[in-house]
Amino acid sequence: MRTGGVSAAPYDSLNSSFAVGDEVAAVTENLARLAARAGVGPARLLFVKQVHGARVVEAVKAAPDTEADALWTDVPGTAVGVRTADCLPILIEDPRGRVAAVHAGWRGVISEIVARTVEQLVERGGRPAELKVAIGPCIQRCCFEVDGELPGRFEAAFGAGVIHHPAGKAKVHLDLPRAVQQTLTRLGVPEGHVVALPHCTMCDGRFFSHRREHGITGRHLSFITCAP
Ligand SMILES: [Zn+2]
């Protein structure tokens, strides 16, 4: 949720992003609070510059301005995080000693950034059947209206189950968490290892929503810590 920080409106209050027009001092304090919650020092809470791509990087070899949308670490006592406001924050725990954080909007979902991230974990000894995944608050199918060619592309990639036709509405809605779930199932991650929170950032005012606030809002930070 967006509470618990020091940023003023329209970034109130736990905004994690320096790139949305908020005060630097406020964001720095918010990140310090989030790092404390993660159980790490502020310098051990790592993130990257998200660009709606499909690049995955090793966090300790990246910088905050490295362009990527997923990062992983195997350094104990280090946390990786992604910033979102409607996009999907996806956190992955590999019990063989790695954690990953993924930012995915519709571009990231259809370019399979989650699969790219799981592949990097598997290349280093991870097993899909052991991975545990959490999908955080994001724009859900109740609110994610799309048009043009997108519905067709998603149906081709993930099947008709990710397309919804709400009664009385001309536009169709997409179910992005369901598409990610399908990717994970295909890769061999057990369904019981995936928790998808039901909260919709657009219709639940406790969350930052890029769509609802027309781009002028804060960003949540979703993070996962590599156990010390
Ligand atoms: Zn909604």
CA of 70 to the centre of ligand 1 (A): 25
Q: What is the pLDDT of residue 214?
A: 95
- Whether 35 maps to a domain, the answer reads yes
Taking alpha carbons only, the member of 160, 148, 2 closest to residue 86 is 2
CB-facing half-sphere around the CA of 90: CA atoms within 13 A: 32
Looking up residue 43, the CATH number of its domain turns out to be 3.60.140.10
The span from the CA of 222 to the CA of 136, in Å, is: 8
- Whether 131 maps to a domain, the answer reads yes
CA of 199 to the centre of ligand 1 (A): 8
- Whether 156 maps to a domain, the answer reads no
- Whether 207 maps to a domain, the answer reads yes
- Whether 100 maps to a domain, the answer reads yes
- Whether 180 maps to a domain, the answer reads no
For residue 43, count CB atoms less than 10 angstroms from its CB and return exposed for 0-12, middle for 13-18, buried for 19 or more: exposed
- Whether 181 maps to a domain, the answer reads no
- Whether 198 maps to a domain, the answer reads yes
CA dihedral 163, 195, 35, 206 (to 10 degrees): 60
pLDDT averaged per 10 residues, the chain (length 228)? 96 96 97 94 96 97 96 97 98 98 98 98 98 98 95 96 91 97 97 98 97 96 95
CA of 138 to the centre of ligand 1 (A): 9
Which range marks the domain in which residue 61 is found? 18-140+190-225
Angle at 149 between CA 168 and CA 161, to 5 degrees: 60
The span from the CA of 216 to the CA of 22, in Å, is: 10
CA of 21 to the centre of ligand 1 (A): 26
Q: What is the pLDDT of residue 54?
A: 95
Q: How much is the pTM?
A: 0.97
Domain tally, the chain: 1
